[in-house]
Structure 1
Amino acid sequence: MTTAPAGASLDAPALRRRVAALVETHDPATTDQREFLAARFDAGLAWVHFPEGEGGLGAPRSLQAVVDQEFERLGFVPTGREGLVIGLGMAAPTILAFGTPEQRARYLKPLYTGEEVWCQLFSEPGAGSDLAALGTRAVRDGDTWVVNGQKVWTSLAHRAHFAILVTRTDPDVPKHKGMTYFICDMSADGVEVRPLRQLTGEAEFNEVYLTDVRIPDSQRLGAEGEGWRVAQTTLMNERVAIGGHPEPREGGLIAVAAHIWRTRPELRTPGLHDALLRLWVEAEAARLTKERLRQQLAVGQPGPEGSAAKFAFSRLNQEISGLELELLGEEGMLYDDWTFRRPEGVSLAARSPGFHYLRSKGNSIEGGTSEILRNIIAERVLGLPGEIRVDKDVAWKDLPK
């Protein structure tokens, strides 16, 4: 006799009934948002494909859209979630895949409700594109690890309660084999966060210095030395979170450029018309491709296709923001965003054309540089020969620094 898998009896009508029952006891119009999200988590309606008791019901991932649409129809659309993108899009799936039962019970619910904010301690000044070359050291001392190093380009570190952290634990083996992954308490002694002001005038990112930071071994994700494997789960989900988010037709930056074209006829030239049409078609093709990616994601785990979505997102944002400046001419050169700010998240809404242009330059760096993503697409999607890597079997300590 076979046993039906968890969630096998759930279908779209059953999930709609569950949503209705929750809304009946927790009116979205009168219930505090965090309280409502906590009730949604407890009802298994946060991530329906997660296990029961951990925000889900063990249902097919494809049914998540049914739940989200039903909550929206009944009047609940959570707001102010921009600062949770790392926790929701990267930490949660990694904790689900590699966390112990105790870790999942401790971190998933406050992560989902927004009670606790997360950041990502991956990139380093000397190992940006090549993450596996990182040098932040973690040395075991009994039941704890002592961590020393520096991380850079860390979004939300100034607000974060916890971080997902990759370290070097064995310098005597090749770089991909000597890494270990941890959950780091950002309030721990030795964690210092410094603002990193960027081209736009904002300090959206941070530098994080780790000096003799002690992390209990109970906060390790995955086995010692398997940090690269764990990090791959995070990175695949990160690229989907950045480049695979849903948009309506003519959404995102192409909407801004199209609006300028329609409302400012005096700015039109034949050459700009051709450029706008080309980018509009490419943006629509990218949107439909992302929709297919999300459908694939609904029945499995994110793969290298997410790298292609993120690569296309970066290139289009940069080209469209450049076209926006061309359309506006001298007017597009005006810039009034130099005030020092610490934004809660990244949003291009209601920002100036100059901000669009400057901020989009970072799109080809964050979440994996476009050069690295080209390699992933070539090797893992197209099946082309791999790039020659002379350091593959060399111990990390022997690599040029």
Structure 2
Amino acid sequence: MSGTHRRAGLSRPFAFWLIATVQCLLLFASSAPSPLYAVYQGQWHFSAGMLTAIFAMYALTLLAALLVVGKLSDHIGRRKVLGAALVVEVVSMLLFITADGVGPLLAARAAQGLATGAATGATSSALLDLQPPHRPRLGPLVNSLAPIAGLALGALGSGLLVEYAPAPEVLVYALLLAAFALAALVTPLLPETSPGRPGAAASLVPRLAVPRRIRPLFLTVAPSLVAVWAVGGLYMSLGPSIAAHTLRLGGHLVGGLVIFAQTGSGAVGALLRRGKPPRATMTLGFAAFLIGIGTTLGALAVPSPALFFAGIVIAGYGFGTGFLGAFQTIAPLAEPDERAGLMAGMYVVCYLGFSVPAVIAGLAVQRYGLGPTTTVYSVAVMALAVVACAGLLVQGRGEKRAATAPYGGLPPAPQPARAADADHL
């Protein structure tokens, strides 16, 4: 494709919001099974370890897709990758609808992870490509807001259907199937925003495509992303069990409300902090996250459902604002033909935190119990967040000293050429 991008039938502003809706729907679908896990456990009698394995199947296949095809849309175009991902998502919805045991459920989550991972690099990059030139923070804002809002709405919507609707294990997926099929039909009408470049086959070699000049900041931010997404993974997989067994809260809707409280407050936090300085937003978010997790630990010790939900809301606010600040800090540094690779790299870090600790927690629950596992898990992510916050503060002070001492300090290092910048982690 030439440097002049081909346009299709949809305007760029409409395409921007359509892609944001698709991104939200993908994460809506990813959290929809969480309130249904209790239903599946009642039908098929599997353990907490198997529950987290089902959850992890989604996250690990998503990671594999991010590493293998996360950069592909930089080479062959956003539309092709998104269209293929939506077809796989439709297949995953069909697998959910027809699932009659743990094996088909694992297959459905695997297909869903592959679809979401493949789409993530394309949708995140397209939102940056299509954002209005006079609103350079809109793309990072929507990129951080749409996934969190999708997680919140998926958990709440599925929880409501489980509690009040007939055949919830079919209905939610049938509705999503219709939505994804429609999105797949509309995708060819989107304007293509990627200039395309050679090397599509080479881009499939798994690696984190973080340009060299961005790596120091990326590595500083990464521990914080792992910490906040690790808490998301805990409550997405074991949140309903924590509410039922530790807090003695019954009903299928409660599990959805736990996830909604966390991710919904994260979406509100991202909205409230839009337009604010990214570094301050990121630091404030991680500080709120620490306070929120400490509050939930106190609530589990009492135990107090009201205090628990208050802590979840505060931690969720920290999750949303911290993620927004990280996105606003890093995303604008990438050139257009680097965006899919960088976005995939960020989400690899996020989903490593989302999946691996949750699987470890699921195994630990079987041996040590839900309460001790939740406590140790929470303390560990708090410690990681403290280390990450300290790194951000140290780096910020170093940058401030360098900015205020242009003659006394060392001269800035020259920017590497783009050819050298192509090296990857």
TM range (shorter): 0.3 to 0.5
TM-score by length of 2: 0.32
| Higher fraction of helix | 2
TM-score, L = length of structure 1: 0.34
| CA radius of gyration, larger in | 1
